[in-house]
Amino acid sequence: MSEDGMSEERGREDGRDSARDPGGPADVLSRAELLRRSDRATEVLAGLGVRSGDVVPVLMPMSLESVVVTLACLRLSATRLTLPVGNHHAVVRERVNTSGATVVVTADACRLDGQVYAVKSGVDRALSGCPAVRDVLVIPQLPRPVPWVPGRDRWWHEMLGPLSPPARPYPGRMSDDPRPGPQRPDVLARLVFDDPLERRSADDADHGWGETPLEDGGAGDLARFLSEKPPHHL
């Protein structure tokens, strides 16, 4: 595309993953990195004028970036408005105008159910009737040419600045340190794997009713009867 005010080809590879396939390995962020990115995203949205009570429309599939955007909106007490991906230009236009949003977050493109959607192209068509929108943050999902509106569109990864790449594949958990390490001995010492029903309870005794030693004259049975919890004899 040319820089004639219509659009600009921005098919750079910086900050992009390979074409994302729902069946492939998922990206991973440690808890510390997720919080760091959400803090940075909060600063970016706030710098673009998003305040408490504002609405931030989002058009993108489920991904780590989608989670980061949600956390940033929560930190600002803003409302995330999830809009449908696909050919729903009239719906997107109506909801963006109704919400009064000035900042929109969108994927450049995405693959859903084996089909590639040019999300940014659809957003541009929808926003042609949304004069209040000043900024569009574009999150790279697929390495392909992207229509661009100079002065309005901004790359997400450029706004957030240098960030460490996510790890692969997904190990099924999140932690401050994604690398597995040895357990501390004191932690292992506190782990008990036996059956708790096989243990002797604090008020258990080897003697049943009527089996109390005769030395106390049956006082043990009487004390146990009176102190029983719950008091089944009442």
pLDDT tens, N- to C-terminus, the chain (234 residues): 444 443 444 444 444 443 444 444 456 778 889 999 999 999 999 999 999 999 999 999 888 999 999 999 999 999 999 999 888 899 999 999 999 999 999 999 998 888 899 999 999 999 999 999 999 999 999 888 999 999 999 999 999 988 655 554 444 343 344 444 444 444 445 555 566 666 665 555 555 555 555 555 556 666 766 666 655 555
Domain positions in the chain are 31-160, 185-226
- Which of the following CATH numbers is that of domain 31-160: 3.40.50.2000, 3.40.50.980, 2.70.70.10, 3.20.20.70? 3.40.50.980
Q: 């690398």: which residue's tokens?
A: 179
Backbone angles phi, psi at 157, to 5 degrees: -70, -25
Whether 64 contacts 29, CB under 8 Å? yes
Tell if the pTM clears 0.85, that is, is over it. no
CA–CA gap between residue 158 and residue 161 (Å, rounded): 5
CA end-to-end span of the chain? 88
The secondary structure of residue 27, as a DSSP letter, is P
> What contacts 66, CB < 8 A, 6 or more positions away?
58, 60
